[in-house]
């Protein structure tokens, strides 16, 4: 099994190019199932979750071909509606094929997603909303058996709580529903806006009619297009935090700064010096880091996917900080490992009290999930000596060439078998 060895502590200096967004690519890949022709996608990140989703599309009958810069998906022979547990178990986004399969064929058999370390993330919000479009379903032996006897029929749906996955599934499904669908209390993450932009380009009729409301008129087919996926805002945020943490000086390229305004504003409050251009962010880390009270929230709030990383930075603050995790119920799994590196973090329920003025010490560490694993890498970058991070397959799910990008800006990091 592979692991990372990190020799701290060095200031990071140089440029980092941000890859395409994993969280935007996954629903867009699922939405390509609506097509009966070819769709070309550019700027897909080379990460494990994308590979898994492409394998899932292939198992459903999609023919995929990589060219130098893009992926071409041909659905002219795609007719299968069975998404196997073997392909869905490692990736929650597998449930996103349910909406397009029901829209296109009127029935589907899709595995419930496998266990997830950071929380239950139930699919009941997806199923309840789909049932309002005319879908009947039963859950048997870990699979959702769903069919729409009369096809999908447009209606008004208000989500009981804000859910990124359910919003994505319903937007895709409603594109082929008869008549008009209105979705209320939608998630408005930039990745959802990117999915909507993709679908608009294919000829779907979608309109935002309020901050969290969408109106969709069903169409019968979509056209062939080429589309470039947005940048990965979580990857960008991770490297911005890495610069602030190591008193580094980085230029983060291939981004749209206004999309991550919340994160930039928080890093400025903490003490980092930041200048933005139209597609670049220049950041200089400060020796003095200010403490903060922060809580995760749906966009445009502070993202739960950066909570573990900001926690590492706040260990270096001048006083104690407080982090409230308001999205997932089990997302402090990195705390025990950070405490083994010298951090003093106390958790109670969804609240963590982070003691400041900490100097991390090197240790052998175990990654528990995608964002927790990158937080351990960040802590190791500041610890004097060698840290070893095991189970880095979590990292490979969502970060493209992490050690290569860090090495290029001065980190001493290597992957070993």
Residue 113, helix vs strand vs coil: coil
Residue from 334, 281, 283 nearest 304 by CA: 334
Strands (E) across 287-363 are located at: 293-295, 321-324, 345-348, 351-354
The tokens describing 407, both together, are: 């090495």
- β-strand 70-74 against 38-42: which pairing, if any? antiparallel
Cα–Cα–Cα angle for 393, 339, 266, nearest 5°? Answer: 80
Residues assigned a catalytic role? 116
Q: What is the 3-state secondary structure (H, E, C) of 62-98?
A: CEEEECCCEEEEECCCCCCCEECHHHHCCCHHHHHHH
Residue for token digits 């029929």? 153
Using CA atoms, how far apart are residues 382 and 243, in angstroms rounded to an integer? 11
**Quick one: CA torsion of 394, 400, 403, 407, rounded to 10 degrees?**
-160
Non-local (6+) Cβ contacts of 210 within 8 A are 184
What is the per-residue burial (b if ≥16 Cβ within 10 Å, else e) of 308-334?
Answer: bbbbbbbbbbeeebebebebbeebbbb
């Amino acid at each position: 099994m592979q692991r990372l060895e990190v020799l701290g502590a060095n200031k990071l200096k140089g440029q980092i190019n941000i890859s395409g967004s994993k969280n935007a690519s996954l629903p867009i890949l699922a939405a390509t199932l609506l097509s009966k022709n070819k769709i070309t996608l550019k700027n897909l990140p080379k990460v494990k979750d994308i590979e898994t989703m492409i394998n899932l599309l292939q198992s459903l009958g999609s023919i995929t071909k990589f060219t130098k810069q893009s992926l071409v998906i041909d659905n002219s022979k795609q007719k299968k509606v069975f998404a196997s547990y073997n392909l869905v178990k490692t990736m929650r986004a597998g449930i996103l094929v349910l909406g397009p399969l029901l829209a296109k064929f009127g029935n589907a058999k899709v595995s419930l997603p496998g266990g997830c370390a950071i929380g239950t993330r139930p699919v009941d919000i997806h199923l309840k909303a789909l049932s309002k479009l005319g879908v009947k379903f039963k859950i048997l032996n870990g699979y959702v058996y769903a069919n729409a006897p009369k096809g999908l029929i447009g209606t008004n749906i208000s989500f009981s709580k804000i859910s990124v996955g359910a919003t994505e599934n319903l937007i895709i499904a409603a594109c082929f529903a008869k008549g008009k669908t209105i979705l209320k209390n939608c998630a408005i993450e930039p990745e959802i806006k990117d999915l909507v932009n993709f679908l608009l380009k294919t000829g779907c009729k979608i309109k935002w009619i309020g901050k969290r409301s969408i109106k969709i008129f069903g169409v019968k087919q979509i056209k062939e297009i080429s589309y470039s996926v947005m940048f990965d805002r979580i990857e960008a945020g991770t490297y911005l935090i890495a610069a602030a943490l190591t008193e580094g000086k980085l230029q983060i390229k291939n981004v749209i700064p206004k999309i991550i305004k919340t994160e930039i504003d928080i890093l400025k409050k903490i003490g980092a010096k930041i200048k933005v251009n139209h597609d670049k962010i220049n950041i200089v880390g400060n020796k003095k880091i200010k403490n903060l009270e922060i809580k995760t929230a749906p966009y445009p709030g502070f993202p739960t996917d950066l909570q573990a990383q900001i926690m590492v930075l706040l260990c270096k603050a001048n006083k104690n900080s407080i982090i409230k995790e308001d999205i997932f119920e089990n997302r402090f799994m990195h705390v025990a490992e950070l405490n083994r590196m010298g951090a003093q973090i106390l958790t109670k329920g969804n609240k963590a009290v982070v003691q400041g003025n900490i100097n991390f010490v090197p240790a052998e560490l175990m990654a528990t999930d995608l964002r927790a694993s990158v937080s351990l890498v960040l802590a190791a970058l500041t610890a004097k000596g060698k840290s070893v991070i095991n189970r880095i397959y979590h990292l490979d799910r969502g970060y493209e060439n992490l050690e290569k990008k860090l090495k290029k800006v001065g980190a001493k990091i290597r992957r070993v078998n």
